[in-house]
Amino acid sequence: MTTVLETKGLTAGYAGVPVVRNLDLTVEAGEVVALLGPNGAGKTTTLLTLAGVVPRISGSAKVLDEEVAGGRPHKVARRGAVLVPDDRAIFFDLTARENLRLGAGGKGGNNAVEIVLDYFPSLKPRMSTRAGLLSGGEQQMLAVGRALSGRPKVLMIDEMSLGLAPVIVKRMFPVVRRIADEIGAGVLVVEQHIDVALQAADRAYVLNHGEVAMQGPAHELLKDRHLLQASYLGMS
């Protein structure tokens, strides 16, 4: 398998203050990796560092075998690594179709839209609707779809379930699994809903206070609930 994301001894944070410490993490092509942990554990900072937004303090962070440089997210995106932030970052005044075409860039806009609609068919009757008028679930589908329309090699999703009804959350994660399986993208997803994330993931890392408290195959973490809970509480 091809490693598409890798950190070695990564320490990153803000104004020189570490939030993530000594992080070793990998994501392979076609793999879904869940990044779990309590609020403030450093999950979002990890994604922002890999996206080139937050600078490294020390260690290594590579996306598609190229070292990530803080402050240059456009270069990371150009290499095929796309971040879906927790605020979704869609254009509310544009229609759903226009958002998807923007995500596709010059990569066959109409065809890219059709591919997205195959994954999110409930968006089809909403293509002419302004994004700001879509429901929260539809906006999240649009955000992931826009990232997908650019045919990413790496897809990073921050808090996909934020503000969504449980029934929508359960529909979203199988789609993420399909994206990895069918397109071959490596997916790193930050999530608070442990069970649904682990059911879709191949592997998972649990962060606590900026450090890895637990890691392993997702199915094994699902079985050991007591140890997983201890990791969240910083007791492992």
State phi, psi for 208 to the nearest 5 degrees: -145, 125
H/E stretch holding 200: helix 194-200
Distance between CA atoms of residues 110 and 68, nearest Å: 31
Q: What is the mean pLDDT of residues 61-68?
A: 88
Distance between CA atoms of residues 13 and 35, nearest Å: 17
- Domains in the chain, CATH or no CATH each: 1-80+152-164+184-236 (3.40.50.300), 84-151 (no CATH)
Would you place residue 88 in the very low, low, confident or very high pLDDT band (cuts 50, 70, 90)?
confident
Taking each helix axis from N to C end, the angle separating 96-104 and 109-119, rounded to the nearest 10 degrees, works out to 120
State phi, psi for 223 to the nearest 5 degrees: -75, -35
Checking if the pLDDT of 127 tops 60, the result is yes
Would you place residue 231 in the very low, low, confident or very high pLDDT band (cuts 50, 70, 90)?
low
Would you place residue 71 in the very low, low, confident or very high pLDDT band (cuts 50, 70, 90)?
low
Checking if the pLDDT of 33 tops 70, the result is yes
H/E stretch holding 173: helix 166-178
Mind listing the pLDDT tens digit for each residue in 161-202? 887 888 888 888 999 999 999 999 999 999 888 888 999 999
Q: Could you give the percent of the chain with pLDDT greater than 90?
A: 59
Distance between CA atoms of residues 65 and 195, nearest Å: 31
Q: Could you give the percent of the chain with pLDDT greater than 70?
A: 93
Mind listing the pLDDT tens digit for each residue in 132-170? 999 998 999 999 999 988 888 999 999 888 878 888 888
**14, 54 contact by CB (below 8 A):** yes
H/E stretch holding 188: strand 186-190
CA gyration radius for the chain?
17
Of the candidates 24, 25, 10, 7, the one whose C-alpha atom is nearest the C-alpha of residue 65 is 7
